[in-house]
């Protein structure tokens, strides 16, 4: 009789711990999970996309910053030229004269939007400038007292320029305007430039007190007079002779000539000349009493006292204003009768036909 199979042994052989199917399934699941965790396909594309966007933003910042700088430079040149032109009208003390000169460059301006956003009357204002401290003391000056003009394209008149790539910030959720406003301004100031060819000796002065009916007597060529108190001056041209002095009066009227090409201020060395020539005094008479009567004139003051040497330039020590009343051209000595006030500055715009003007910084506005 055949033996029966051992059921216990059969059960052991079918034990799950020895089941190859279960073991393979576990290995497949765990291996797939690890492969999924280690799979980096596609991350380079995401990283590259972010880098491209960042690069575009950086390039956009550079381009738009360059555009803003370019527009600002163009606008600054426009207001600079307008301010320099406008201040030349200030001696007339006429608002229309000043503002029309500021507008005179509109047709030549090429800043962004210049065709529609031109410099107008509202963009021009008057300032008071302190030359001692180099600061603007009043931004709301009056045309009758101001010594400077400000031209500004700001606020509602600012220059609007488009931004090209910076608006990409909007894609990142950062609100960015498509246009930026650029504000520019310029201030030009003006001072009087002495040009009348007379240099007064300091002994005539009485501080800032007006001295009336002074006989301004040029030193005689042989220095024989005892009452001389002035020299002729040809400023920076040490040529000597009556024609040079007469040319000085022409220069005082036209404000052009080598003799006044330079800075005329306290400490400047100027050339002098002697003489009481009738023709020179006749030219002075025409200039003071016929062509330009009834006004004050600024002239330099020198130490003087002994000599008007044409070849020995002398320092300016002060400025005085004179009001010529008459000129005595006959007899000996000859002289000019005038009222005199010394201790003058070059800020009064009614004592000369010649002027200096320049641009100044706006420290209060960091301009």
Displacement of CA 102 from its chain's centroid (Å): 14
79: Cβ contacts below 8 Å, ≥ 6 apart: 119, 151, 152, 153, 184, 185, 186
Q: What is the pLDDT of residue 225?
A: 63
304: Cβ contacts below 8 Å, ≥ 6 apart: 199, 200, 201, 202, 203, 229, 230, 231, 314
Nearest to 284 by CA among 238, 321, 334, 331: 334
Pairing of strands 179-182, 184-192: unpaired
User: How far apart (Å, rounded) are the C-alpha atoms in residues 103 and 123?
Assistant: 10
Measured over all CA atoms, what is the biggest interatomic distance in the chain, rounded to whole angstroms?
Answer: 181
Q: What is the pLDDT of residue 36?
A: 53
H/E stretch holding 71 reads helix 43-87
DSSP 264-296: -STT-EEEEE----HHHHHHHHIIIIIIS-S--
Residue 53 has pLDDT above 60, yes or no: yes
Residue range 287-344, pLDDT digits in tens: 999 999 999 999 999 987 667 888 889 999 999 999 999 999 988 889 999 999 999 9
Strand order in the sheet with 135-138: 135-138, 124-130, 148-153, 184-192, 355-360
Q: What is the mean predicted confidence (pLDDT) over 83-98?
A: 97
Who wins on pLDDT, 151 or 42? 151
User: How far apart (Å, rounded) are the C-alpha atoms in residues 173 and 126?
Assistant: 45
Q: What percent of the chain has pLDDT over 70?
A: 84
Pairing of strands 198-201, 297-302: parallel
Residue 42 has pLDDT above 90, yes or no: no
**Domain coordinates in residue numbering, the chain:** 45-191+359-365, 198-345
Other beta carbons within 10 Å of 19: 11
pTM score, two decimals? 0.78
Q: What is the pLDDT of residue 45?
A: 80
Instruction: Decide if 218 contacts 230 (C-beta within 8 A).
Output: yes
Q: What is the pLDDT of residue 338?
A: 98
H/E stretch holding 146 reads none
Residue 101's pLDDT band (cuts 50, 70, 90): very high
Residue 227 has pLDDT above 60, yes or no: yes
End-to-end CA distance of the chain: 122
Averaged confidence pLDDT in the chain: 86
Displacement of CA 24 from its chain's centroid (Å): 87
Displacement of CA 47 from its chain's centroid (Å): 49
Instruction: Decide if 295 contacts 330 (C-beta within 8 A).
Output: no
Q: What is the pLDDT of residue 13?
A: 47
Residue 26 has pLDDT above 90, yes or no: no
Residue 221, classed as helix, strand or coil, is coil
Q: What is the mean predicted confidence (pLDDT) over 21-50?
A: 59
């Amino acid at each position: 009789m055949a033996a029966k199979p051992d059921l216990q042994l059969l059960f052991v052989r079918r034990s799950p711990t020895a089941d190859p199917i279960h073991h393979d399934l576990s290995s497949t699941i765990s291996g797939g999970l690890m492969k999924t965790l280690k799979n980096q396909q596609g991350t380079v594309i995401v990283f590259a996309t972010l880098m491209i966007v960042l690069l575009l933003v950086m390039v956009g910042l550079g381009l738009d910053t360059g555009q803003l700088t370019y527009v600002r430079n163009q606008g600054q040149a426009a207001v600079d030229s307008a301010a320099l032109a406008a201040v030349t009208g200030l001696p007339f003390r006429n608002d229309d004269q000043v503002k029309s000169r500021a507008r005179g460059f509109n047709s030549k301006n090429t800043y962004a939007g210049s065709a529609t956003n031109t410099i107008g009357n509202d963009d021009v204002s008057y300032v008071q400038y302190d030359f001692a401290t180099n600061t603007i003391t009043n931004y709301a000056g009056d045309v009758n007292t101001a010594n400077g003009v400000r031209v500004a394209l700001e606020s509602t008149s600012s220059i609007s320029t488009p931004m090209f790539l910076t608006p990409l910030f909007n894609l990142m959720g950062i609100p960015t305007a498509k246009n930026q406003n650029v504000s520019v301004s310029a201030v030009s100031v003006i001072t009087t430039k002495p040009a009348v060819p007379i240099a007064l000796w300091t002994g005539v002065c009485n501080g800032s007190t007006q001295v009336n009916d002074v006989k301004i007597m040029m030193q005689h060529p042989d220095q024989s007079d005892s009452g001389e108190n002035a020299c002729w001056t040809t400023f920076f041209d040490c040529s000597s002779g009556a024609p040079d002095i007469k040319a000085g009066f022409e220069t005082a009227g036209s404000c052009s000539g080598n003799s006044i090409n330079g800075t005329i201020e306290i400490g400047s060395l100027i050339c002098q000349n002697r003489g009481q020539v009738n023709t020179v005094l006749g030219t002075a008479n025409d200039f003071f009493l016929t062509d330009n009567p009834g006004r004050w004139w600024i002239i330099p003051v020198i130490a003087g006292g002994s000599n008007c040497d044409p070849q020995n330039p002398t320092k300016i020590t002060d400025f005085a204003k004179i009001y010529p009343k008459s000129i005595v051209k006959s007899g000996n000595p000859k002289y000019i009768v005038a009222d005199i006030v010394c201790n003058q500055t070059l800020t009064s715009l009614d004592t000369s036909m010649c002027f200096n003007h320049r641009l100044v910084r706006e420290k209060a506005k960091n301009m």
